[in-house]
Structure 1
Amino acid sequence: MIKIRTAIPAIGLLIMYACGVPESMQDFDSNTWKNDRYSCQNQRAALVDDFDKIRKELYGKKEYVIRNLLGKPDSEELLEGNQRLYFYYFEPGAQCENKRQLSESNRVQIRINSVGKISEVGYYRPI
């Protein structure tokens, strides 16, 4: 018999990952986005308009939503106050040669506040 102490956290994790992307965002082609790390294959450029349609819905969502939707960020910056910036490129550029350095390529910048919620979604150089 499963103990309640172990069953409840396991059920919570299943629910969190099963419902990781809100229904209104499930039409976004998340797989294509995730498979084009650093946008070196230039497939993300075709998804910019689709991303822009769901961009405002991201505000206030937990960090796991963006990770489930867009995958691991191409780059990340730790800010003061335990905030983070996630970077996802829209076009190929210098980041394809040197993944450790930010390039001047178009990218989306997502700020995660100190409580793990998305507080800002902006573009480095809007397309």
Structure 2
Amino acid sequence: MLKLNILAPVAGLLLLGACTPDSLKDFDSDTWKDDRFGCDSKRAELVSDFEKIRKEMYGKKEYVVRNVLGKPDSEELMERSQRIYFYYIEPGTQCQNRKQLSEANRVQVRINSLGKVSEITYYKPVETANPE
């Protein structure tokens, strides 16, 4: 019985880590996550790669977004339990004051009341090549 009590949480963690769809696994999540608030400009270099997976993220659960993009730099609670996650993609005033939204460009991921991605936009639309 003791072995089962130890294995259950470990199995749960393994399953949660495996919840990133294959179509999103080619994205360099580690580099994206390491560049908190976009202050190192690493996320800016990943924008074209992000564009390739952006449409794949629609309808995905919130935990998938967090697995792929990490904890949001900021978030806004909307009416009816909707949320918007903000991920900065360029340096700005958020690098000095992380408690206020900056005018720097950012990815905005809207999570609906069912906990699914319903919209992904840029604060300032960026020009990217269309993914093939």
TM-score over 0.5 (shorter chain): yes
Q: Structure 1 unaligned segments of length 5 or more: list them.
A: none
Contact 2:73/2:85 (8 A) holds in 1: yes
CA 63–16 in structure 1, closer or farther in 2 if over 3 Å, else same: farther
Over residues 49-95 of structure 1, what are the superposed CA-to-partner deviations in whole Å (9 max), with x where a residue is unaligned? 00011000001100000000010000000000000000001100010
Contact 2:17/2:67 (8 A) holds in 1: no
| TM-score of the aligned structures, taking structure 2 as reference length | 0.86
Q: Distance in 1 between matches of 2:10 and 2:28?
A: 27
User: Could you tell me which residue of structure 2 aligns to residue 20 of structure 1?
Assistant: 19
> After TM superposition, what 4+ stretches of structure 1 lie above 4 angstroms from structure 2?
9-12
Counterpart of 1:81 in structure 2: which amino acid? R
Pairing of 1:1-127 with structure 2 (within 5 A)? 1=1, 10=9, 13-14=12-13, 16-127=15-126
Over residues 97-117 of structure 1, what are the superposed CA-to-partner deviations in whole Å (9 max), with x where a residue is unaligned? 110111111111000111111
Q: Structure 2 unaligned segments of length 5 or more: list them.
A: 127-132
Q: Distance in 2 between matches of 1:98 and 1:19?
A: 35
Q: Secondary structure at the match of 1:103?
A: coil
Counting matched residue pairs gives: 126
| TM-score of the aligned structures, taking structure 1 as reference length | 0.89
